[in-house]
């Protein structure tokens, strides 16, 4: 039974839908940041304490702010970084470009740089000052990498519509993977160079992506709107075929995924439109155990992390509940 893996479930205040979440460690303690429409919350899972986090309107000092004095931030996706102990959040949505705030004070640190409305946002893995990457999936093309300072222009990645983003530091390079129509592209976040491209299907969209490792080789994992999970060899030759046949099991699309090493086994955790969470063995492509059930509605966010020295998956979605699942059983 999936209840055997459930460690904790907790509802956001008022049970609003949760569209995205991110997890960071602050003073050795995990902190979860969640978005849903115009609201942002933090949740301390070890104490099960929720706190709403008001953010200054992104266009407060912009003509748009004066024109629409009652407007609120549109917050559908979130990324978090902790430079010098300060928690900063980058977020935006379908009607707002990405901006950066101080979580504790709500102060706007960097306003939206342009009209790149946000389908997905992530923190770039690597050394130095925090960088974020944002993409747009509908109507506008493009992926941009930017930092806290407004002095340097964003790095433009040559991309079409991208729905899902993932980042990794591999062999000293900060890489970005973006899932879109028909496949996944991988870029160098620093110089914008395209590193690889993987085809999935002409009529399929890669809604969620992640980087992982198999047998010491980097791979890209993609979940699609047809419910398939693809695993592709990032270090391979010109053949962009997946390592094995795509995995299937979800009844409907995959909205989110993340990856983990559980012992010596690489796994992916996916969340779907069917309200289930599923664990996949990346080497074999087979599902590891029964689906994890309990969410009432679509699962919109999946993040894998470590809590109290064990790998766990945090999932959330339309029911406004965050669930923590043990991946070691």
Burial state string for 189-223 with b = 16 or more CB within 10 A and e = fewer than 16: beebeeebebebbeebbbbbbbbbebeeebbbbbb
From 69, 73, 65, select the one nearest 90 (Cα to Cα). Answer: 73
pLDDT of residue 204: 84
DSSP secondary structure letters along 109-137: EE---SS-B-SEEEEPPSSSS-EEEEE--
Position 271 scores a pLDDT of 98
Task: For 288-312, write each residue's pLDDT tens digit.
Answer: 999 999 999 999 999 999 998 999 9
pLDDT at 1: 42
* Domain boundaries, given as residue ranges, for the chain: 14-258
State which residues of the chain have pLDDT below 70. 1-2, 62-69, 113-116, 137-140, 236-240
- The pTM of this model reads 0.94
What per-residue confidence (pLDDT) applies to 182?
77
pLDDT tens for 128-150 read 889 999 998 665 678 999 888 77
Q: How far is CA 139 from CA 118, 122, 142, 154, 184, in A?
A: 11, 20, 10, 20, 18
Q: pLDDT at position 136, please?
A: 81
What strands, in cross-sheet order, belong to the sheet with 131-135? Answer: 120-123, 131-135, 143-147, 155-157
- 3-state percent breakdown (helix, strand, coil) of the chain, nearest 5: 5, 50, 45
The two structure tokens encoding residue 273: 């439109």
d(CA 286, CA 20): 27
Dihedrals phi, psi of 143, to nearest 5 degrees:
-135, 135
Distance, in Å, from the CA atom of 138 to the CA atom of 89, rounded to the nearest integer, reads: 23
Top-tier CATH class for 14-258: mainly beta
Whole-number pLDDT of residue 61: 74
């Amino acid at each position: 039974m999936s209840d055997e893996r459930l460690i904790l479930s907790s509802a956001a205040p008022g049970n609003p839908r949760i569209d995205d979440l991110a997890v960071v460690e602050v003073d050795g303690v995990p902190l979860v940041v969640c978005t849903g429409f115009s609201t942002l919350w933090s949740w301390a899972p070890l104490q099960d304490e929720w706190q709403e986090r008001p953010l200054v309107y992104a266009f407060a000092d912009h003509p748009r702010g004066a024109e629409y004095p009652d407007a609120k931030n549109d917050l559908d996706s979130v990324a978090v970084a902790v430079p010098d102990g300060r928690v900063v959040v980058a977020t935006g949505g379908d009607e707002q470009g990405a901006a950066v705030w101080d979580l504790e004070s709500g102060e706007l640190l960097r306003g939206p740089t342009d009209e790149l409305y946000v389908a997905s946002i992530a923190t770039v893995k690597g050394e130095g000052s925090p960088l974020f990457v944002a993409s747009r999936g509908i109507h506008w093309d493009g992926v941009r990498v930017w930092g806290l300072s407004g002095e340097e222009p964003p790095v433009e990645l040559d991309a079409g519509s991208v729905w899902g983003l993932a980042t990794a530091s591999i062999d000293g390079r900060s890489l970005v993977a973006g899932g879109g129509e028909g496949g996944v592209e991988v870029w160098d976040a620093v110089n914008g160079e395209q590193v690889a491209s993987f085809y999935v299907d002409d009529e399929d969209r890669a809604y969620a992506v992640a980087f992982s490792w198999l047998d010491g080789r980097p791979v890209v994992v993609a979940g699609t709107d047809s419910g398939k999970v693809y695993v592709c060899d990032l270090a391979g030759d010109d053949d962009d075929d997946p390592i094995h046949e795509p995995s299937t099991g979800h009844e409907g699309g995959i909205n989110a995924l993340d990856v983990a090493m559980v012992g010596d086994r690489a796994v992916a955790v996916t969340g779907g439109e069917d309200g289930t969470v599923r664990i996949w063995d990346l080497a074999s492509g087979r599902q590891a155990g029964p689906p994890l059930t309990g969410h009432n509605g679509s699962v919109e966010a999946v993040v894998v992390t470590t809590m109290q020295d064990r790998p766990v998956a945090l999932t959330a979605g339309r029911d406004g509940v965050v669930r923590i699942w043990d991946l070691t059983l």
